[in-house]
Amino acid sequence: MANQIAREEGMGPLERGRLRYKQKDYSAALKAFNEAVMSSTDQMLLTALDSRAAAYEKLEQFMPALRDGKAMIEMKPKSSKGYLRTGKILQLQGKEALALQIYARGLAKVPSGADKERQLLVTLHAKLRQVLKPGKSMNFVELLPFELALMVCHNLDMRDRVICLAVSKGWKGVLESSTKLWTTLDTTYARKPVSLKSLQTHFRRSHYTLDRAIITLRANIDAGKMKFVTRTCKNLRELHIAGNGIIGSALHSNLPGATALQAVSTSGCTEVPLHTVQMVIGACHKTLLDVKFLCVQGSKSVVIPGRWPRASSLKTIHLSGCSESILDFDGLRDSTLNATTVILTNWQIRTHLIDATPWKALEHLDLTDTQLNRLPDFPSTLKHLVLSENRVLNLGPNEARPHPLPLLEIFACASTALDAEALKAITAASIKAGNLKRLTIGDRMVNPNTSCITDEFPACDTLEELSVANMILADRQAMEIVALYPNLKRLDMSGTGITGVAVKRFIESGVKWLRINGCDSISADAIEWARGKEGVEIIHNLMSRGVKSRASARFADSVFGSSFDL
C-alpha cells in the first residue's frame, strides 16, 4: 500500500487513473478520471472523457459511457475519438446498426488526414458493414470506401436520392450520414405534389441547415408550405422558382421570415407580377444581394412611381419584362445605388434621358430591347455595356458625346442605329487604355459612301472577340475589318456575303473560332479545309439552298449575345 501511495505521489488525476486502469482497479480509475474531467479543458478534457468512458465500459456501466461518448462528439465533432468510443460501446450493447451509423457520421464529419485515428474509423466501419451485410446480395455502395459512396450519392438528383433510401440499410446509412446531401431542396424532378411531411423529413436529414431551395410550380408548394420553408430553414440563402405558371403572393408574403436570404430568382417561363418583385425586394432588403426574374409582368400603359423599396445591399439586378411592360427606371436606380450589375431587357423605358451615373459602382449594364432612342449617361466604372436590339437608338448631331469609359471590356450594340461616330466615341477611351476585349456590332448599316473601312470600325490591338453578324459585307470589306484586330481569336460572320477566300484569310490570321451560319456563298471545300486546321472550331449551317436571304436581325441568336456573363 505504501509503495502504491509512493508511486502515485506527484501524479495528476489523469495519470493516476491510467495507472489504476492498467492495474485493473476500474473503480479507483473511475474516481481518478472523474477528478480529471472536473479539472480539465479542451484537448485534455477530451482525453479525460475518453478515459472515463473506457472505465465505465469495463464496469459495464454503458449509459454513462455513452453520455461521455456523446459529449466527446459534441465537443470535438471533427475528431475521431468520440465516434470510436461511442461506436464501440454501442457494439457492446448489441446495437450494431446504430454503431454503423455513428461510424458513418464520423467519416462524414472528420476530414481525411485530420488525425491518426481516422483510418481506424474507416476500418471499423468497413468491418461492421460487412458483418451486417444481408445474405449474399451484392450492394456496390457497401463495397465502396465511404468517401466514394458519398461521391456517388452527390451525383444523384434529389428524387433519386430519396428513392435510394429504400434500397437497403447500407444505402440509407450512407445517404443519411451526410447532412450535405440534404442542404439543397430540389423539386425539379418531382412527379407529384410534395407533401408537408416530405419537407419535414428532408429538413430533419439536413439537421435544419438547408441553404438552397429550387422549387417548381408542379411540386405544388403553396403559401402554407412556402411559409414552413422560410420559417424553418434559418440558413436559407438562395431561392429559385421554376415551372410554367404564375407566382405571386405565395412568394412575397412568406419571405419576411427568411432572415438570411441572399438570392431570389425565377425561370423564364414563371411569370411574376412587377409588384411581387418589388415586395420580394422590400421583404429581404437587408440581406438580398442578387435578384433574377426572367418574366416580369408590369403595366403596359403607365409608370407607377414610388413602388421600389430601398435595398442598399443589392449588387446584382436581372429583370426581363414580358408583353411590353413599362419599367420605372429612375425609381429602381435610386433605390439600388450600390448595384454592380444591372440587366434590364425587354422593357419599355420611357425616361427621356436614362441616367445611370448614380450607380457609382456599376460594372455591368445591359439594356437590350428597352426601346431606347438616345444614348444614356453612363458611369465611368462600366466594364460590360450591352445596348443591342434598340432599333432607333442613335447619337444625334446635337446630343452630348458620351462620357469616357476607360475600363470597358465588352461592348454590344447589334441591331441599333448607332453609327461609326457613336461606336468610336463609346470605345475610344477603353481602346486607348488597352482594355477592350469584345465587340458585338452586327446588323447595322455601313455607310456605302465610305471608301476606307477604318472610317466605320475602330482599330484595336487588344480585341479578342468580334461579331459583325448580319451586316452587308463582302470578302474585301470583311477582311479589312478583321485586319484592324491583329489579336482576334473569335469571330462571328453569320449572315454576311463572304466566301471561302475570306474564311482562309481569317484562319491564317489566327482566328480559332469562326461562326458562319447562313453564309451560303462559302463552299463545302472551304469549310472542310478550315475544320481540318488544328485548334480551329467552325460553326456553320446553311440557312437556305439556292436562295440567298439575310437572317432575321436578332442579337439574341448570336453566340455573342448569349455569352455575356453579366
| pLDDT by 10s per residue, the chain, length 566 | 555 555 666 688 899 999 999 999 999 999 999 999 998 888 899 999 999 999 999 999 999 999 999 999 999 999 999 999 999 999 999 999 899 999 999 988 888 877 888 889 988 988 888 787 655 445 666 666 777 777 777 777 777 888 777 777 777 777 777 788 888 899 988 878 989 998 998 898 888 999 999 999 988 888 888 888 888 888 999 999 999 999 988 887 777 655 789 999 999 999 999 999 999 999 999 999 999 999 999 998 888 777 899 999 999 999 999 988 999 999 999 999 999 999 999 999 988 899 999 999 999 999 999 999 999 999 999 999 999 999 999 998 888 889 999 999 999 999 999 999 999 999 999 999 999 999 999 998 766 555 577 788 999 999 999 999 999 999 999 999 999 999 999 999 999 999 999 999 999 999 999 999 999 999 999 999 999 999 999 999 865 443 333 343 343 433 334 443 32
Residue whose grid cell is 440509407: 172
The residues spanned by each domain of the chain are: 2-132
- List Cβ neighbours of 333 (8 Å cut-off, separation of 6 or more): 355, 356, 358, 359
8 Å CB contact between 12 and 20: no
All cell numbers assigned to 307: 413602388
CB 183 within 8 A of CB 158: no
Pairwise CA distance, residues 397 & 32, whole Å: 94
Could you tell me how far CA 11 lies from the centroid of its own chain?
A: 57
Q: What is the reported pLDDT for 449?
A: 57
- As a whole number of angstroms, the distance between CA 224 and CA 251 comes to 11
Query: What is the pLDDT at residue 9?
Result: 65
CA atoms within 13 A on the CB side of 12: 9
What is the pTM assigned to this prediction? 0.71
pLDDT at 116: 84
Task: Give residue 547's pLDDT.
Answer: 35
CATH fold of 2-132: 1.25.40
Using the 8-state DSSP alphabet, how is residue 514 labeled? E
Whether the CB-CB separation of 526 and 504 falls below 8 Å is answered with yes
